[in-house]
Amino acid sequence: MFRASLRSPIFSLRPSAAKTLTASRVLAVRHLSQEARAQIQNAVKSSPLVLFMKGTPSLPECGFSRAAVQVLDLHGVPPEKMKTYNVLADDELRSGIKEFSDWPTIPQLYVNGEFIGGCDILLGMHQSGELENLLVKNDIIPKVEESLEAQPSAA
C-alpha cells in the first residue's frame, strides 16, 4: 500500500528539506534510501540497455516481462549490450525501481540511462518502428541489414 505515497520530487529531497514534508512523504523518502537510490542509479547505467523484469530472459515469471524480452530478442539486441535485473530476487529493488522511475509496474526499460517505458510502451514502439530507431540510434543494434523486412521507411 505504500505505493500510493511513492511519488514525490525525490531528486530534490535532502535531509533539511525533509523536515518540512508531510509524514507520508517522509515515509516515502525513508523507503528509498540514498544508498538504494545510488545502487539503482548504478544499475540503470550498468549496460547500454537495462531491463528490470520479473524472472530472467530464459525464464520470465510474468507475461509482461516475457513480452518485453521477446521484443528485444526480436530486434537482435546482443547480450553484451543488455543487462536484466530480476526484481523478484530483490524486494528492495522491486519497490525501489518503481519509485526511482516513478512508474508503477514491471518491466521497465532503460536505454543509456534513460527511462523508455514499460511493456505497453515497448510494444507500441516496436509496432511503430520507433524501437528499432531508438536501438540503432543508441548503437545497440546495427543499422539496416538483418531486419530489412521489418524496416519501416524511416527517413
Partner 1 sequence: MINLDDLEAAIRSALPVSHLEIEDQSNGCGESYAIVLVSEAFEGKNTLARHRFVNDLLKAQIAQMHAFSQVCYNHWSSIASIRTSKPSKVERG
Binding site for partner 1 (CB under 8 A): 1, 3-4, 7, 64, 67, 70-71, 73-74, 102-105, 115-121, 123-127
- Taking the least distance from each CB to partner 1, the nearer of 4 and 148 is 4
Query: From the CB of 98, what's the least distance to partner 1, in Å?
Result: 10
44 or 125: whose CB is closer to partner 1?
Answer: 125
Rounded least distance, CB 71 to partner 1, Å: 6
What residues contact 74, with CB distance under 8 A and at least 6 apart?
Answer: 126
C-beta closer to partner 1: residue 94 or 115: 115
- Give the contacts of 37 (CB within 8 A, at least 6 positions apart): 10, 96, 100
CA distance 137 to 140: 8
Which residues share a beta bridge with 111?
Answer: 49, 114
